[in-house]
Amino acid sequence: MSKLIIKHSHNTYDCEDCGLSFSDGAVVTLDGETIIDAPACAHCFGNTNIDYVHILVALCKKLDIEIVESGKDIDIAYYGQELETFNKLT
């Protein structure tokens, strides 16, 4: 049986100029291989924000599963493009 481990993290940063920012990150491993390595890192711009859609897309890509979507307001393709940034971190 395969094992998926998801380690969530949360970070905040309070900048005197920009104000408070938040970041949600995750390190996700499948059978010991890291598929997302994006721990939370809050700062003024470009905060990490990982949610379950990112994890689902990364897992499907790893398992070579095509995602076809319809009838939702979210765009899986957008998350896939955004994930390219996270994939560079692994």
Q: How confident is the model at residue 90 (pLDDT cuts 50, 70, 90)?
A: very low
What pLDDT is recorded for position 4?
A: 93
Q: What is the domain count for the chain?
A: 1
Range of the domain at 59: 4-87
pLDDT tens for residues 14-65? Answer: 989 889 999 999 999 999 999 888 899 888 877 778 888 888 888 888 889 9
What pLDDT is recorded for position 87?
A: 53
Beta pairing partners, 15 = 19
**50 burial via Cβ count (<10 Å: 0-12, 13-18, 19+):** buried
DSSP H helices in 1-90: 52-62, 76-87
Q: Is the pLDDT of residue 78 over 60?
A: no
What pLDDT is recorded for position 49?
A: 85
Beta pairing partners, 7 = 27
What pLDDT is recorded for position 47?
A: 78
Q: Is the pLDDT of residue 83 over 70?
A: no
